[in-house]
Amino acid sequence: MSFAGLAYVLFTVLLAIISGGVIGYYYNPKRKQKIEEPKHRMLDDDN
């Protein structure tokens, strides 16, 4: 495999790892309640 080809593959793998990490972090069940809180609070911002 050429150097350029390898670089593209490694970059893709790196991006997949980072997005996996982000998804894993935010989809961790123990953070769910805290993360989802603003969507309920925004409903009563009228007063």
Partner 1 sequence: MTPYVQGNEKSVPFDCSQENLEDDMSETSTEKYNFTIVRGFAFSALFWLVIGLIVGLWIAFEMFDPALNLTPWLSFGRLRVVHTNGLGLGFGLAAIFATSYYILQRLTRTPLPFPRLAQLHLYFFNTIIALGALSLFAGMNTTKEYAELEWPLDIGVVVLWVMFAINVFGTLIKRQEKQMYISLWYIISMTVAIAILYIVNNLEIPVTLFKSYSVYAGANDANVEWWYAHNVVGFIFTVPILAMFYYFLPKSTGLPIFSHRLSIVSFWALNFAYLWTGAHHLMLTPLPEWIQTVAIAFSIFLIAPSWGSVVNGYYTLQGNWDQMRTNYLVKFFIAGITFYGLQTIQGPLQGLRTLNAFFHYTDWVIGHVHMGTMGWVTMVISASFYYMIPRITSTELYSVKLANTHFWLILVGQFTWTITMWIAGIQQGAMWKATNPDGSLMYNFLDTVTSLYPYYKLRFAAGVIYFIGIMIFAWNLIMTVRQQPSQAEA
Partner 2 sequence: MGITSKPVVFAVLAAVVILIGTTVTVFIPLFMPSTQPVSASIKPYTAVEQEGRDIYMREGCNNCHTQTVRPLRTEVLRYGEYSKPEEFAYDRPFLWGSRRTGPDLNRVGEKYPDSWHYKHLDSPQSMFEKSNMPPYGWLAKNRLDTQYSLKKATTLGYGYSESDVHQQITQYRATVTDENYPSKESRNNVTPPELRKELTEMDALIAYLQKLGRDVKNMEAKK
Give the nearest distance from C-beta 31 to partner 2 in angstroms: 7
| Contact (CB, 8 A) for 2 and 10 | no
**30 touches partner 2 by CB under 8 A:** no
Contact pick of 4, 5, 29, 34 for partner 2 (by CB under 8 A)? 34
Stretch touching partner 2 by CB under 8 A, among 2-10, 30-38, 39-47: 30-38
Cα–Cα distances (Å) from 6 to 1, 14, 26, 33, in that order, read: 6, 12, 30, 41
The entry of partner 1, partner 2, none near residue 27 (CB within 5 to 8 angstroms by kind) is partner 1
Q: Quote the CA–CA distance of 41 and 6 in Å, as a whole number.
A: 47
